[in-house]
Amino acid sequence: MNKRLLRYILLPMLLMACAVCDAQINNWQDLYKAKKKDTIYGIAHKYGITVDQLMEANPDMKKDGYQLKKGDIVFIPFVSQPKEVQQPSKKSTEKDIDIRSRAIRIGMMLPLHNVDGDGKRMTEYYRGFLLACEQMKAQNISVDIHAWNVPIDADIRQTLLDKGAQNCDIIFGPLYSNQVKYLAEFCKTYKIKMVIPFSITGDEVKHNSQIFQVYQSPERLNEKAIYAFMERFPKHHAIFVDCNDSTSKKGIFTFGLRKQLDSKGIKYSITNIKSSEQQFGKAFSRTLPNVVVLNSGRSPELNVVFAKLNGLKMTAPNVQISVFGYTEWLMYTKYNLANYYQFDAYIPTTFYYNPLSESTQQIEALYRQWFKTETIQALPKFALTGYDHAIYFINGLHKYGQSFSGTKKQQVMKPIQTQLYFDKNTNGGMENACFQLIHYKNDQTIESITY
């Protein structure tokens, strides 16, 4: 009797379970096995559904720290919508309008907070960006800006769930390397231009056509500096000064430069910062113009070398001397300007902050007026970097639309501090290629030589 009763109880339960299974099977249009480079956004786009719909069908995706892995089974839901819902929304219709005739929709995904140095620097960058947007109103250029605070511990995938993100035309960010891949895939899926404004690791730019990578690696900048040196000083006698600086990484540059000189059979001299003035002077040619290169970018060593050079000029006034430095030297301009002029200094860099420039002073005055504070004491100036990036990219999109690529042929701005132009990576996006020498001339003028 008990067994029969148990059978009657279990039979309806089994039937109910089967009914539930049938209902679930009918809810999926497909079971997708994730591949190595798949993303949630890419899978949703592949099946013509929204990220929200995909995550609703796969609740694990909503959990903190979730990562899609190769081999994961993803449930692809059927999505039935009324016909009126399937019609293009007002926003999607607006995005199809030529970007040159409407407001440009901008996303800012950076750590915008006051918790640490990263947040303060990026807040200043964003403020400079806003100053540029305000000024561009006079040119009838309209923008619609959405900003998200994306700190170092943020899961940027959660930020990208905001519906406003996929409507952007261009997104600036992120700051942190571990967030780049997710944002890059998102921008690729929704055909959004993505600007990586600061230093990162990784090679997403090599295979993602939507990326503009502003940052240039030290190796790439070294190559450009060596090229600029060889182009600028083909008939000079080079003197390498060993500064005994165990913390310096400038040996990468000096070693590479010496290798180039050796390959061309060009002779050079090596001396030491601790050499006597007499020994130091023997390294210099009396018949050829000389160019001095230190293997340190620090200020104390530079001061000692300038003292020795001034001593040499007193005993041998006809000796011609130039110095070839490092970007850090821009920070020492206030104390060494006279020496830079006297010794025909060349400083390789990707930016140039000129505090005496009228344009610089105007923007910094506006910054103080708007935000009631001074800019951070750092080079490059983050407010001016944000200002220049806004002017460059927004003007570029306004002028060239979606065909804007940032190549030299499409130069659209005169920067306050940060020049930009981009080269196409063979199979990917655009990489910043701008490089310049700041030349402090003997006639006490300064020129920027752009390569």
CATH number, domain of 224, equals 3.40.50.2300
Same domain, 223 and 345: yes
Q: Do residues 144 and 245 share a domain?
A: no
Q: Is the pLDDT of residue 259 over 60?
A: yes
Among 295, 318, 349, the domain boundary falls at 349
Residues 104, 133, single domain; the answer is yes
Question: Does some domain include residue 304?
Answer: yes
- Considering only residues 90 and 42, tell me which one the structure prediction assigns the higher pLDDT: 42
Q: How confident is the model at residue 94 (pLDDT cuts 50, 70, 90)?
A: low
In this structure, how many other beta carbons lie within 10 angstroms of the beta carbon of residue 103? 14
436 assigned to some structural domain: no
Q: Decide: helix, strand or coil at residue 449.
A: strand
Does 277 lie in the same domain as 225? yes
- Give tens-digit pLDDT for 383-399: 999 999 999 999 999 99
Question: Is 418 found in the same domain as 304?
Answer: no
| Residues 262 and 184 grouped into a single domain | no
One domain for residues 225 and 342: yes
Q: Are residue 105 and residue 170 in the same domain, yes or no? A: yes
pLDDT, position 367? 98
- Is the pLDDT at 24 greater than 90? The verdict is no
Average pLDDT over residues 170-182: 97
- For the chain, the straight-line distance linking the first and the last C-alpha, in angstroms and rounded, comes to 95
pLDDT beyond 70 at 82: no
Query: For position 7, what pLDDT does the model report?
Result: 44
pLDDT tens sequence across 412-444: 888 999 999 999 999 999 999 999 999 999 999
Q: Is residue 445 part of a domain?
A: no
Sequence letter at residue 441: K
Helix axis angle for 382-400 and 117-136, nearest 10°, is: 40
Residue 7 in domain: no
With respect to residue 35, please indicate whether it lies within any of the assigned structural domains.
Answer: yes
**Calpha distance 298→165 (Å, rounded):** 43
| Percent of the chain with pLDDT strictly greater than 70 | 90
What confidence tens digit (pLDDT) does each residue in 358-377 have?
999 999 999 999 999 999 99
Of the chain, the percentage scoring pLDDT greater than 90 comes to 76
CATH of the domain at 40: 3.10.350.10
What does R_g of the chain's alpha carbons equal in angstroms?
Answer: 29
Mean pLDDT, to the nearest integer, of 144-172?
Answer: 95
What are the phi and psi torsion angles at 23 (to 5°)?
A: -65, -40
Query: 98 and 208 in one domain?
Result: yes
Kindly state whether residues 343 and 393 are assigned to the same domain.
Answer: no
What is the structure's pLDDT at 26? 42
- Range of 279's domain? 219-349
Domain total of the chain: 3
Determine the residue type at 111: P
Greatest pairwise CA separation for the chain in angstroms: 120
Tell me the pLDDT band of 293, cut-offs 50, 70 and 90. very high
Structure tokens at 191: 């055909």
In a domain, 435, yes or no: no
Q: Under DSSP, is residue 432 helix (H, G, I), strand (E, B) or coil?
A: strand
Contact status, residue 345 vs residue 322, Cβ threshold 8 Å = yes
Is 169 a domain residue? yes
- Tell me whether residue 449 is in a domain: no
Q: What pLDDT, on a 0 to 100 scale, did the predictor assign at position 27?
A: 54
Contact 149, 409 (CB under 8 A): no
391 close to 384: Cβ distance less than 8 angstroms: no
How many residues belong to the chain?
451
Q: What is the mean pLDDT of residues 290-296?
A: 98
In this structure, the answer to whether residues 210 and 105 fall within a common structural domain is yes
Segment (H or E) for 426: none
**446: closest CA among 316, 302, 345?**
345
The tokens for 86 are 């399937």
Residue labelled with tokens 């196409």: 424
The answer on pLDDT for 4 being more than 70 is no
Range in 82-96, 285-299, 317-331 with the lowest mean pLDDT: 82-96
- What is the per-residue pLDDT for 2? 45
- Segment of 56-70, 83-97, 290-304 carrying the highest mean pLDDT: 290-304
Q: Please list the alpha-helical segments (H only) found in 236-379.
A: 251-263, 277-282, 299-315, 333-342, 358-371
Pair 212, 240 in one domain:
no
* Tens digit of each residue's pLDDT (9 = 90 or more) over 260-290: 999 999 999 999 999 999 999 999 999 999 9
210-214 LR contacts (CB < 8 Å, sep 24+): 210/184, 210/429, 211/184, 211/187, 211/428, 211/429, 211/430, 212/393, 212/406, 212/422, 212/429, 212/430, 212/432, 213/429, 213/430, 213/431, 213/432, 214/389, 214/420, 214/432
Asked if residues 306 and 339 have their Cβ atoms less than 8 Å apart, the reply is yes
